[in-house]
Amino acid sequence: MSLIEVKGLRKSFGRLEVLKGVDLTVEQGERIAIIGGSGCGKSVFLRSLCLLEKPDAGQVFIDGKEITAAKGGQVDEIRRSMGMVFQKFHLFSEMDVMDNLCLAPTRILKMSREAAEQKAMELLSQVGLASRAHAWPTVLSGGQQQRIAICRCLMMEPKVLLFDEPTSALDPSMVGEVLAVIRMLAKRDMSMLIVTHEMNFAREVADRVLFFADGVIYEQGTPAEIFDAPKREKTVAFIRKIKYYSIHIAEKRFDLMQLQGGIQNFGEKYGMGQRHTYRLQICCEELIYVLLEQCYPGRNDVDLELSVSHAESDGTTQIRLICGGAPCNPFEQSEDGLGVTILKKMATRLDYRLENGKNFIDISL
């Protein structure tokens, strides 16, 4: 039996559909990292598993029990098998650390105070905070508070931990201490779902990585598959931090200054370098004029899409032109222009194909 099973999960906020039918199975001991851009539904998905957000449709089973069909106290009973670690710690400021840790197990699990304190001290020792057992949360650093929050979850002996960006509210100097605790739990085969922006951490700890986009699990796989060889376009763009500039040209008398200014601004914004940006402008201009003349002879109305993408991760630049009209391979022109000549010297890849009646030109710089 799977530890977690999600079927067709949907959630909207007004007209905004955040989750559009998410399916997922999580096995006992599995460690899953959830990544994706801001607003893609990662946190909403995690909160929906324990009904902190109530789904509009779909089913969630936790250890064989359907929490989405549970009523009243049944929901709380099923929730006990999950521990949720939030961005903002949510410790009770009017209680010291020991009271924060002992409150739930003594009230809900009916554990004796003595047993609870003994368990709390064991957990605090494991995360390096035994000396802070009677400190007030307000005097602790953010990293210390988050470690306490993780201990509080562990006091309830959950079957799975849900981490909602556990380091996003921390100063960079404190991130490492929290990640170290999660690594420790991973080595103990603790089942975990971790929403995170820490890509290196996700690669190191996770058995499986889920990339969220368009309201669904857009792509999933092992860390090597997602970080080293993503297959789908949006995953590639996210992993490589790809930035885009694009323009559509509908007539031959287009605004060349707008095009060149757009490329100039794009290059400056993403640190491409003046020489590289200038060469990019020349190449794009030359290719556009070749295609417009060869693909649309004697016509002013045209259909050409230019897109430039730049990967911040490795500094590579891609040019793509899609042009209708007559077939034209600009790399086979008998008299190469300046731009084409520059391209052939700069490019690591030049590719032309005719597909569905359109010319596709792809260039890697």
What CATH number does the domain containing 307 carry? 3.30.565.10
Last residue of a domain, one of 190, 218, 236: 236
The set of residues, in sequence order, having a beta carbon less than 8 Å from that of 17 and lying 6+ positions away, is 10, 11, 215
Asked if 250 and 303 touch (Cβ cutoff 8 Å), the reply is: yes
Sequence-distant contacts of 334-342: CB under 8 A, at least 24 apart: 337/286, 337/289, 337/290, 338/282, 338/286, 339/282, 339/283, 339/284, 339/285, 339/286, 339/287, 340/283, 340/286, 340/287, 340/290, 342/279, 342/282, 342/283, 342/286
β-bridge mates for residue 5, sequence order:
25, 61
Q: Say which residue, 120 or 317, is predicted with more confidence.
A: 120
Which pLDDT score, from 0 to 100, does residue 275 have?
Answer: 87
Of 160, 223, 166, whose CA–CA distance to 191 is shortest?
160
Sole residue written with tokens 């060349």: 256
216/265 same-domain check: no
146/291 same-domain check: no
Give residue-wise pLDDT tens across range 229-252.
Answer: 999 989 998 988 888 889 999 999
Query: 317: how many CB neighbours lie within 10 A of its CB?
Result: 22
Tokens encoding 225? 């598959």
Q: What is the mean pLDDT of residues 320-347?
A: 77
Q: What is the mean pLDDT of residues 157-165?
A: 94
Tokens encoding 102? 């002992």
250/231 same-domain check: no
> To 5 degrees, how large is the angle CA 89–CA 83–CA 202?
80
Chain center to CA of 166: 14
CATH code for the domain in which residue 222 is found: 3.40.50.300
Domain count, the chain: 2
Which pLDDT score, from 0 to 100, does residue 90 have?
Answer: 87
Of 81, 7, 13, 67, whose CA–CA distance to 43 is shortest?
13
Sole residue written with tokens 């990585």: 209
Which pLDDT score, from 0 to 100, does residue 359 have?
Answer: 93
Most confident option among 121-125, 165-169, 181-185, 360-364:
121-125
Residue 10 belongs to what H/E stretch? strand 4-13
Which pLDDT score, from 0 to 100, does residue 316 have?
Answer: 84
Which pLDDT score, from 0 to 100, does residue 336 have?
Answer: 58
Asked if 35 and 202 touch (Cβ cutoff 8 Å), the reply is: yes
81/66 same-domain check: yes
Q: What is the mean pLDDT of residues 57-74?
A: 92
* Integer Cα distance of 280 and 271 in angstroms: 13
213/266 same-domain check: no
Strands 358-364 vs 349-355: parallel, antiparallel or unpaired: antiparallel
Does residue 347 surpass a pLDDT of 90?
no
80/198 same-domain check: yes
Does residue 12 surpass a pLDDT of 80?
yes
Give residue-wise pLDDT tens across range 298-322.
Answer: 899 999 999 998 888 778 888 999 9
* Integer Cα distance of 224 and 9 in angstroms: 27
Does residue 167 surpass a pLDDT of 90?
no
Last residue of a domain, one of 205, 236, 267: 236
Kindly report the average pLDDT of the chain as a whole number: 90
Of 86, 78, 76, 195, whose CA–CA distance to 148 is shortest?
86
265/336 same-domain check: yes
> To 5 degrees, how large is the angle CA 352–CA 252–CA 338?
55
Q: Say which residue, 48 or 170, is predicted with more confidence.
A: 48
3-state secondary structure of 233: helix
Which range marks the domain in which residue 278 is found? Answer: 241-364
Does residue 208 surpass a pLDDT of 70?
yes
142/262 same-domain check: no
Which pLDDT score, from 0 to 100, does residue 334 have?
Answer: 52
Does residue 91 surpass a pLDDT of 60?
yes
Radius of gyration of the chain (CA): 27
CA-based torsion, 340, 344, 349, 352: positive or negative: positive
Give residue-wise pLDDT tens across range 185-207.
Answer: 988 889 999 999 888 888 888 99
222/271 same-domain check: no
Helix axes 97-107, 113-126, angle to 10 degrees: 130
Sheet holding 57-62, edge to edge: 16-26, 4-13, 57-62, 65-66
Residue type, 145: Q
145/250 same-domain check: no
Residue 199 belongs to what H/E stretch? helix 199-205
The set of residues, in sequence order, having a beta carbon less than 8 Å from that of 211 and lying 6+ positions away, is 35, 36, 217, 218, 219, 220, 226, 230, 234, 235, 238
155/30 same-domain check: yes
* Integer Cα distance of 165 and 159 in angstroms: 19
222/256 same-domain check: no
Query: Binning pLDDT at 50, 70 and 90, where does residue 269 land?
Result: confident
